[in-house]
Amino acid sequence: MSAEFFEDPDGTREQILAATYHTLCEHGYADLTISRIGEEFEKSPSLVYHHYESKDELVLECLEFMIDRFEHRTTDDVDQPRERLEEFFGWLLESNIEVERQQFIALLVELRTLASRDESYRRQFLRSDQVLERYLSNLLNSGIERGEFRECETEQVAAYVLTTLTGVMLRRSTHDIDPAWLEDVRAELEAYLEARVYRE
Amino acid sequence: MSAEFFEDPDGTREQILAATYHTLCEHGYADLTISRIGEEFEKSPSLVYHHYESKDELVLECLEFMIDRFEHRTTDDVDQPRERLEEFFGWLLESNIEVERQQFIALLVELRTLASRDESYRRQFLRSDQVLERYLSNLLNSGIERGEFRECETEQVAAYVLTTLTGVMLRRSTHDIDPAWLEDVRAELEAYLEARVYRE
DNA sequence: CCGTTTTGATTGAACGTTCAATCAGTCCGT
DNA sequence: ACGGACTGATTGAACGTTCAATCAAAACGG
């Protein structure tokens, strides 16, 4: 997810952005230092300030980029709504995921908590939630039009499912890998969808 | 919630703990400093080290205390399971809540993210989740015995509902007060419970 | 095509601040 | 006068940020 760009960035500014992303994933926001970013892309830490105003600006741009990437990836393609839907939450509900995904999820949650005290982060996550919510309701509407889903308040369902998935992220980012509760949540989420969304 | 003790602590050690709690609520973990704790309880900041090993030990003890309090408060009393259940998630789903509750929720989420990199915090939140999960399944079992709820996998439902509520906490801690999605989530959660738990 | 100038990238050293933790010494009840 | 409670000053490390200096390459003028 949103990792392609960060693998072979061209231009120094982009390399710094990619290095920031990787450092964030590995060490988290709390332990992010300019010198660690320097280590990551093998240049002097002070070079960062030749391309960016401040550490915060850098992190925010990184976050914005991540959200943008996801946005461009979702807006289209609402064929096969049920498969898309299961794919969507499957990405979060799989057990035994790789370390990178685990770290990425934890990073998103950690950055999100910054929003409670910082206006700029709040804006980003507000937008991110809107993007996801629109994608989900599009999926639901498409399913209803095709007769695969039953009539329902799509925005309400979208907000609800998204909240649950946000909860999955937070619990995942704290608990051990492959916890037992994951299967429970998946099963009960399926049951909810059967009861409220899917047409039997 | 778990605020009684922190209002009139006796003994210096307890005063420090209470001051830590209040400072945490007001400034969050990231901006918690020893001197800010000192300001809060009107003694010298260095006194902290006369009673506690380190800052981390202090915060951990504070968190442990919060969880303990909640534990003692829940284990009994599973009469009127439906009312208890609604009261339980009502506390998180009310709109227009006071600043203190908002801050308390944000604090819990912020501390929780520490768990991804720190074993000690992970243990605490693992325990906290177990406490909540047991409380919820007790409620559900009690409801089933009384014939108010239908037969279901209580642990599975408990894990699922708790995950959703965790998501509510995370979204609440980031978004503005009184957001529109809250009512959506509440309505859809009710619908889920009607469909899967409550006997009509 | 050569020499000069300009520009942007890059570096290492240094500064100023913040903060956890320490310590030597004072206060005070018994 | 002894011991625990308490304080203010201090230390040392970490870190964001600045800055003067270097370097490579491009642009340019003759």
Digit-coded pLDDT (tens) for B70-99: 888 776 677 899 999 999 999 999 999 999
Share of chain A above pLDDT 90, in %: 84
CATH dotted code for A1-60: 1.10.10
Range A75-200: architecture per CATH: Orthogonal Bundle (1.10)
- pLDDT at res. B2: 41
Tens-digit pLDDT profile for residues A108-126:
999 999 999 999 999 999 9
Task: Provide, in whole angstroms, the distance separating residue B32's CA from nucleotide D8's C1'.
Answer: 21
Q: State the pLDDT confidence band at A2, using cuts at 50, 70 and 90.
A: very low
Which among B188, B190, B194 is the top mutation candidate for probing chain A, defined by the most A β-carbons within 10 Å of its own β-carbon?
B188
Strand C contact at CB of residue A44, distance < 7 A: yes
Phi, then psi, of A9 in degrees rounded to 5: -75, 140
Tens-digit pLDDT profile for residues A3-18:
567 877 778 899 999 9
- pLDDT at res. B1: 45
**Spatial distance between the Cα atoms of A1 and A66, rounded to a whole number of angstroms:** 9
CB of A67 less than 8 A from some CB of B = no
CATH topology of domain B1-59: Arc Repressor Mutant, subunit A (1.10.10)
Burial degree of A151 (CB within 10 A; 0-12, 13-18, 19+): exposed
Tens-digit pLDDT profile for residues B106-158:
999 999 999 999 999 999 999 999 999 999 999 999 999 999 999 999 999 99
Tokens of A198: 């899917």
Q: Is B198 in a helix, a strand, or coil?
A: strand
- pLDDT at res. A79: 87
Residue nearest to nucleotide C18 (CA to C1'): B33
Tens-digit pLDDT profile for residues A150-177:
999 999 999 999 999 999 999 999 987 7
Contact (CB, 8 A) for A17 and A9: yes
Return residues 98-137 of B near A (CB < 8 Å): 106, 109-110, 112-117, 121-122, 125-126, 129, 133
CB of B174 less than 8 A from some CB of A = yes
In this prediction, residues A171-192 reach a mean pLDDT of 93
Interface touch A110/B116, C-beta < 8 Å: yes
Interface touch B109/A170, C-beta < 8 Å: yes
- pLDDT at res. B3: 52
Share of chain B above pLDDT 90, in %: 84
**Spatial distance between the Cα atoms of A72 and A64, rounded to a whole number of angstroms:** 12
Q: What is the mean pLDDT of chain B?
A: 92
Tens-digit pLDDT profile for residues B31-68:
999 999 999 988 999 999 999 999 999 999 999 999 98
- Closest-CA distance, B168 to chain A, in angstroms, reads 6
Tens-digit pLDDT profile for residues A32-75:
999 999 999 889 999 999 999 999 999 999 999 999 888 887 76
A79 or B159: which carries more pLDDT confidence?
B159
**Nearest nucleotide (CA of A41 to C1'):** C10
- The residue ranges of every structural domain in chain B are 1-59, 75-200
Share of chain B above pLDDT 70, in %: 97
**A1 has pLDDT over 70:** no
**B181 has pLDDT over 60:** yes
- pLDDT at res. B10: 77
Nearest CA to A93 among A174, A168, A192? A168
Residues 8-47/B with CB < 7 A to strand C:
31-35, 45-46
- Closest-CA distance, A12 to chain B, in angstroms, reads 30
Residues B37-76 as b/e (b if ≥16 CB within 10 A, e otherwise) read bbebbebeeebbeeebeeeeebbbbbbebbbebbbeebee
Which residues pair with residue A149 across a beta bridge?
A198
- pLDDT at res. A7: 74
